[in-house]
Structure 1
C-alpha cells in the first residue's frame, strides 16, 4: 500500500488552482520522477475541475486510485494511491488536510495562491504518516488487530486438530461429554478417516 501524491487545490470557475502538493515518488526510477510528478499534478487538477462542488469521488487510472474531495467552499484535495490503499483512510486524510488547511491559510489566498507563496508545511508530514494506514488511522489499526487475532485463533484450531490421537484421548477422558456424544465423535472420526489418502 502506497500514497504517491497529496494535493490541495482551489476549484475555480474554469480551472483548478494548485495551492500546495507533496509527493513520494521514491519507488519510481529517478529519471521518471519529474514526469510522473507533472502527470500527477495535471491529473489532480483535472479531477478537481471535473468534480462537482461538495462531492467525493474515487477514480481509477491504470494501477492507481485518485481520491478527490471538493468542499462546498471549493477548497479541494486529491490523494493518489495504489489500488490496495483503503479508500476510507484516503477520505479521512483528505478531510483532515482540508480542515487544517482552511484554518491556517486565509480563503482570500485560495483562488490566486501559488505553492511557493502558501505557508502550509503539513502535507509532507501527512503523506509520510499515512504511508502505513494501520498506524495513521485508528479504525484500520483495530481492524488489522482483529484480523490478526482471527488468524491466530484459526492456526491454533488447526494445530489442535492435527493432534488426532491426543484429541481422541481428550474426548475419551472428558467429563463434559456424555456417552452419546463420545460415540458420535468416534463414528465421525471413523467415517472421516476412510477418506484419507495413505
Structure 2
C-alpha cells in the first residue's frame, strides 16, 4: 500500500488552481520522478474539473484517485489500488478541515502552492503511508483478520488431529483383537507343557 500524492486544489468558476500538494515518488527511478509528479498533478486537476460539489468519489486510472469535495475546496489522494478507500477519505476530510481552518478564504483562489502557509500535507502523507498505524479501525480490522486466520488454522489442525485420533482408535481396536488372538494361541501352546 502506497500513497503517492496528497493535494488540495481549488475549483473556481473558470479553472482549477492547485493550492498545496505533497508527493512521495521515491519508489520511482530518479529520472521518472518529475514526469510522474507532473502526471499526478495533471490527473488530480482533471478529476477535480469533472467532480461536482459535495462529492466523494474514487476514480481508477493507472492508480486509484480519491476525491472529496467541500464547496470549492477539494482534496485529492492518489494511491495504489491496495490502499483502503475508507482511510483515504478519512485523510481527505482531516486535511480539508485543517486546511480550511488555517488558510484564509481570500488566499485560496489566488494563492500559489509556494505562497500558501500550510505545512500539514507532508506530515499527513508520511503518517498515512501505513494505514494500519494511522487509522485505528484499519488496525483493528487487520488484527481481526489475523485472528480469523489463526482460528481457521487451529480448526483445521483440530480436524486433522481428530482424523488421526480416529485412525489410532481403529488401529488400537485391531491391535486389541490381535493381542487377544495371540494370548489365546500362547495359552494353547503353553497348555501342553507342565512347569516343575
User: What TM-score bracket applies, with the shorter chain setting the length?
Assistant: 0.7 to 0.9
Q: Where do residues 2-81 of structure 1 align in structure 2 (5 Å cutoff)?
A: 2-62=2-62, 64-72=63-71, 74-81=72-79
Q: Which residue of 2 aligns with 1:182?
A: none
Contact 1:68 1:78 (8 Å CA) reproduced: yes
Larger Cα-atom Rg: 2
SS at match of 1:10: strand
- Aligned-residue RMSD, C-alpha: 1.9
State the 4+ residue runs in structure 1 displaced beyond 3 angstroms.
Answer: 164-171
Q: Where do residues 79-94 of structure 1 align in structure 2 (5 Å cutoff)?
A: 79-94=77-92
SS at match of 1:70: strand
Q: Post-superposition shift, 1:161?
A: 2.1
Q: Where do residues 128-147 of structure 1 align in structure 2 (5 Å cutoff)?
A: 128-147=126-145
TM-score w.r.t. length of structure 2: 0.82
Gaps of 5+ in 1: 172-198
Q: Which residue of 2 aligns with 1:158?
A: 156
Q: Which residue of 1 aligns with 2:103?
A: 105
SS at match of 1:163: helix
Q: Which residue of 1 aligns with 2:122?
A: 124
Deviations 1:9-65 (A, max 9, x none): 111112111111001111111100001101111111111111111111111112x01
In 2: Cα distance, 1:50 partner to 1:166 partner: 63
User: How many residues align structurally?
Assistant: 170
SS at match of 2:106: helix
In 2: Cα distance, 1:113 partner to 1:135 partner: 33
Gaps of 5+ in 2: 170-196
TM-score w.r.t. length of structure 1: 0.81
Contact 1:58 1:65 (8 Å CA) reproduced: yes
